[in-house]
Amino acid sequence: MSAFSEVNYVDLPAVFALSARHDADPHPEKVKLTVGAYRNEAGKPWVLPVVKKAESMLAADETLNKEYLSMGGLQSFTDAATRLVLGENSRLVNEDRAVALQTLSGTGALHVAFQFISQFYPGCKDILVSNPSWGNHKLMIDRLPGVNFVQYAYYDPETMGFDLEGMCRDLEAAQDGSVVVLHACAHNPTGIDPTMEQWLKIAEVCKKKSHFPLFDLAYLGYASGSFDQDAASIRLFADLGFEFIVCQSFAKIMGLYCERIGCMIFAGQTAEISHKCLSQMKIIVRSIYSNPPAHGARIASMCLNNRDMRAEWEDCVKEMHARIRRSRSYLHTALKTANAPGSWDHILAQNGMFSYTGLTKAQCELLIEKHHVYLLKSGRISMCGITQENAKYVANAIHDAILNAKEN
C-alpha cells in the first residue's frame, strides 16, 4: 500500500500543454503563438551572437573553475544588474541601500521575494496582483501560508486598454500596507503599460496606503527598446522614497532561458536594513538550493560589464524590440486586408512580447482545433510567433474564427 495512493494528476499549466500539442501536430501550416520566448524573422529561437562570443571566451579561460558560487551569486553580475535597473548614478546604489542576490531566473527571484515577504514583512496578508497577470504569480502566492492572492483591476475589455481608475480604486480599497506586484514594463499578458503620468498616480496611491511595491521585471528593453525608458517606472518609485523589491529575469533580454539567470534587488531605507534583509534572503536561498549556477551569471556579467560586449548586447535588444514591432504590423496589416471585423489598432498600441487580442475562448478554441493556430484561451498571443510568412494565414484564421465560432 503506497502512502501516495491519494495523489491525483494535476493539469500542466495551459501554456505547456498547448505547446506540447503544437509540437506533436503534423499540420504543415501550424503556428505556435503560445510560448513567451523570442523568435527571429524565420520563426526560430535566437542565440544572441554576443552570448556565443561570451561562451567561447569562457570556455577558453583557464582561470575559471567549477567551485560553488556564494549564496548570493556572482557579485560582478548582481552589481551590474542593479545598476542596469536603478541607473548608473543611482542614489540607492551610492548609499549602499540597494542590495542584490543572483537568482534562478525571474521565477526564482519572485519565489525568494515572496518567501522573504511572507516571513518578514509585518502583517503580510494580501498580495495584490493585476487582473490578468502571469499565471505563475497566483501559483506562487497561493502556496504561501496565511497570505491571500488578491487581484486589482488592470485591463478594461471595453476599451482594450489600461483601467487606471479601476486600479487606483482597488489599491485604495485594499488593506493598508498590502504588497502590490507591478509589472515594470511590457505587461504580460496584456502588452499594456501605464504612461509615466499614470505611474505617478499609482505611486501616489501606494504611498498614501503604505503599500509595498514588488516589481516583476522580465522584459526590460522589450517595451521601448531602451533600458532606461523601461526602468523609468521603478526609478520613479525609487525617487519617491519607497522601499521595494525588483525581480529581474535575463531569460528574454539575453536569450538565456534555460540558464536560469535572474537577480532580486532589495532597496531599503538604510544600508543596515538592506544588508540585514539580504542576509535573511541568503538563508532562504541556502534552504532551497544553497547557491546559484555560474554559467549564465558569467555570460550575463560579461555582456553587462565589458564595454564592447555591452554595446553588442544593447543592439541585440534593440533588434528584438524592432522585430516584435514589425510582427505587430504584419498581423495588423493582414487582419485589415482580410477584412476581419474589428479595428485591431490595439495590436499596434500594445507593446512587449504579447498581445491581448480580445478573441473569445470559443474563437481561440476554433483557431486551435480547425486552423492549428495555438494560442492561450484568454486570447493572449506571443507576437514573436508571427512572421511575414504566416501573418496572412493567421489573419484569415482569425477572420474565420470571428465569423464561425459558436459562443456558449
Ligand X SMILES: Cc1ncc(COP(=O)(O)O)c(C=O)c1O
For residue 126, state whether it binds ligand X (rule: CB under 6 A).
no
Minimum gap (Å) between residue 261 Cβ and ligand X = 8
CA atoms of 25 and 32, how far apart (whole Å): 11
Q: Tell me if residue 53 is catalytic.
A: no
Please list every residue from 44 through 103 that binds ligand X, using CB under 6 A.
none
CA 133 – CA 165 distance, rounded (Å): 18
Using alpha carbons, select from 246, 162, 175 the residue that is nearest to residue 202.
Answer: 162
Q: Examine residue 292 and say whether the peptide bond preceding it is cis (omega within 30 degrees of 0).
A: no
Q: Which stretch binds ligand X (CB under 6 A): 26-34, 62-70, 104-112, 265-273?
A: 104-112
Among 48, 251, 267, 294, binds ligand X (CB under 6 A): 251
Name the minimum Å distance from CB 132 to ligand X: 11
Check: CB of residue 236 under 8 Å from CB of residue 87.
Answer: no
Does 225 engage in binding with ligand X (CB under 6 A)? no
Asked if 170 interacts with ligand X (CB under 6 A), we say no
Residue 249 contacts ligand X per CB under 6 A: yes
Identify which of residues 274 and 382 has a Cβ nearer to ligand X in the complex. 382
CB of 397 to ligand X, least distance (A): 25
Residue of 32, 46, 126, 134 with catalytic role: 134
Contact 358/346 with Cβ under 8 angstroms? Answer: yes
Residue with smaller CB distance to ligand X, 128 or 397 = 128
- If one asks whether residue 218 binds ligand X (CB under 6 A), the answer comes out as yes
Q: Measure Cα distances from 375 to 195, 330, 357 in Å.
A: 28, 17, 10
Residue 137 vs 298, nearer CB to ligand X: 137
For position 188 contacting ligand X by CB under 6 A, the verdict is yes
Q: Which of 134, 162, 237, 313 binds ligand X (CB under 6 A)?
A: 134
- Minimum CB–partner distance for residue 184 and ligand X (Å): 9
Whichever of 34 and 274 has its CB closer to ligand X, that residue is: 34
| Catalytic residue (one of 163, 170, 252, 313) | 252
Q: CA torsion sign, 121 to 122 to 125 to 131? A: negative
134 is catalytic: yes
Residue 36 CB, nearest approach to ligand X (Å)? 4
Q: Does 107 bind ligand X (CB under 6 A)?
A: yes
Is 207 tagged catalytic?
no
The C-alpha atoms of residue 373 and residue 282 are separated, in whole angstroms, by 44
Instruction: Out of 163, 170, 193, 216, point to the residue binding ligand X (CB under 6 A).
Output: 216
Contacting residue, 31, 36, 174, 192, with ligand X by CB under 6 A: 36
Give the nearer residue to ligand X in terms of CB position, either 233 or 363: 233
Active-site amino acid positions:
134, 216, 252
Sites of contact with ligand X (CB under 6 A):
36, 105-107, 134, 183, 188, 216, 218, 249, 251, 262
